């Protein structure tokens, strides 16, 4: 599990000396009226970086300020702040002031589009297996959610929500750790060869499906099949085409991205195009399951909340 900025390990039992002072300075600037964006610019200018080595952004500063762990606190079952049993870098009073500041901030007039890393089947609800979708909270923060069923019965259980940056950082940290393992780069190149073969196979399937749809239309036009038979066949073929084209799009990304000769994989991950990060994530992971937090208000990746199902790169003969 990724560690929180300001702490030496994921269990938050020890403060990290070289991050405590920058964190306190960031909080002080926030309580003096500076915006999260200005604080991010200041922190980056001072050479401070997040736990994955990435630069600070408005969203990451805000997420840090909303995490009660920085004050040695957590949210209890009733949603109230209680002692978490570990040290804090700031005081309870300072954290309370941060929450008041957050509630008084004016919402942005128009939130910029967020490039979600794990949509379109990239992660699923651990309770009902419905694909999670990108959805902003009422405060405008990007997140992932299991959308509840609509009036037509389409949707999931609606019980899973998670901050987008929190989930994506967690997945990114583990993917980078996997890339750092000896021999993985060589396996990755072999896996890409297997994916390229799948790409050609899926192109052939799409060509065949398009031919079948044309044939069905021709038969219907010649009155050799009924309207009902044509509609049924066309619906099935269209559904298969949509699914195969979707898998082809991601397979092509997986087959074509390149790590180049990057020596610093953490830096590569933080600067790589979203398509490349999405492709390598799909290549490494068959499935990402996200489960509900243990209690309302939990803003950490608790043990077992995110389950990563790793793909075996040595045997990538199945479907993408």
Q: What pLDDT score does 318 carry?
A: 46
* 252 or 302, which is more confident: 302
* 57 or 198, which is more confident: 57
Residue 316 has pLDDT above 50, yes or no: no
* Same-domain pairing of 257 and 141: yes
Q: Is residue 238 part of a domain?
A: no
What is the 8-class DSSP label of residue 11? T
Helix orientation angle between 17-31 and 58-66, rounded to the nearest 10 degrees = 100
* Same-domain pairing of 185 and 262: yes
What is the 8-class DSSP label of residue 85? S
Q: Which residues of 257-271 are buried (b: 16+ CB within 10 A; e: fewer)?
A: beeeeeeebbebbbe
Question: How confident is the prediction for the chain on average, in pLDDT?
Answer: 84
> What's the domain count of the chain?
2
Domain boundary among 40, 69, 104: 104
* Same-domain pairing of 161 and 260: yes
Domain boundary among 104, 131, 161: 104
Domain boundary among 104, 136, 165: 104
Domain that holds residue 319: 116-195+250-320
* Same-domain pairing of 96 and 137: no
* Same-domain pairing of 80 and 169: no
Pairwise CA distance, residues 252 & 250, whole Å: 5
Q: What is the mean pLDDT of residues 224-243?
A: 88
Two structure tokens written together for 190: 């072999």
List, for residues 263-282, the tens digit of each pLDDT value: 567 777 777 778 778 878 88
Ramachandran bin of 155, using left for φ above 0, alpha for ψ from -120 to 50, beta for the remaining angles: left
Tell me if 59 sits within 8 A of 41, measured CB to CB.
Answer: no
Pairwise CA distance, residues 65 & 98, whole Å: 7
* Same-domain pairing of 30 and 76: yes
Q: What pLDDT score does 250 carry?
A: 67
List, for residues 149-193, the tens digit of each pLDDT value: 887 788 899 999 999 989 999 999 898 888 877 777 777 777 777
């Amino acid at each position: 599990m990724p560690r929180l900025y300001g702490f030496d390990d994921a269990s938050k039992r020890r403060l990290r000396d070289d991050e405590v002072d920058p964190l306190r300075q960031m909080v002080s600037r926030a309580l003096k009226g500076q915006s999260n964006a200005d604080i991010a610019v200041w922190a980056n200018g001072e050479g401070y970086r997040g736990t994955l080595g990435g630069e600070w952004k408005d969203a990451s500063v805000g997420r840090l300020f909303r995490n009660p762990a920085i004050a040695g606190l957590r949210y209890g079952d009733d949603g109230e702040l209680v002692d978490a049993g570990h040290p804090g870098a700031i005081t309870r009073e300072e954290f309370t002031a941060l929450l008041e500041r957050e509630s008084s901030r004016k919402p942005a007039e128009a939130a910029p589009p967020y490039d979600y890393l794990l949509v379109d089947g990239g992660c699923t609800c651990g309770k009902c297996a419905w694909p999670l979708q990108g959805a902003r909270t009422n405060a405008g923060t990007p997140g992932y959610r299991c959308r509840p069923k609509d009036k037509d019965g389409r949707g999931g259980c609606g019980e899973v929500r998670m901050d987008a940056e929190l989930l994506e950082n967690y997945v990114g940290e583990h993917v980078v750790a996997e890339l750092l393992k000896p021999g993985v780069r060589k396996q990755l190149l072999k896996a890409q060869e297997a994916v390229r073969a799948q790409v050609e196979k899926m192109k052939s399937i799409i060509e065949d499906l398009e031919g079948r749809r044309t044939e069905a239309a021709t038969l219907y036009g010649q009155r050799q099949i009924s309207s009902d038979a044509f509609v049924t066949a066309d619906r099935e073929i269209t559904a298969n085409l949509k699914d195969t084209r979707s898998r082809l799009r991601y397979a092509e990304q997986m087959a074509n991205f390149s790590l180049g000769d990057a020596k610093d994989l953490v830096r590569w991950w933080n600067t790589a195009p979203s398509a490349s990060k999405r492709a390598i994530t799909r290549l490494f992971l068959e499935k990402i399951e996200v489960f509900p937090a243990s209690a309302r208000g939990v803003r950490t990746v608790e043990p077992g909340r995110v389950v990563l199902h790793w793909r075996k790169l040595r045997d990538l003969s199945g479907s993408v």
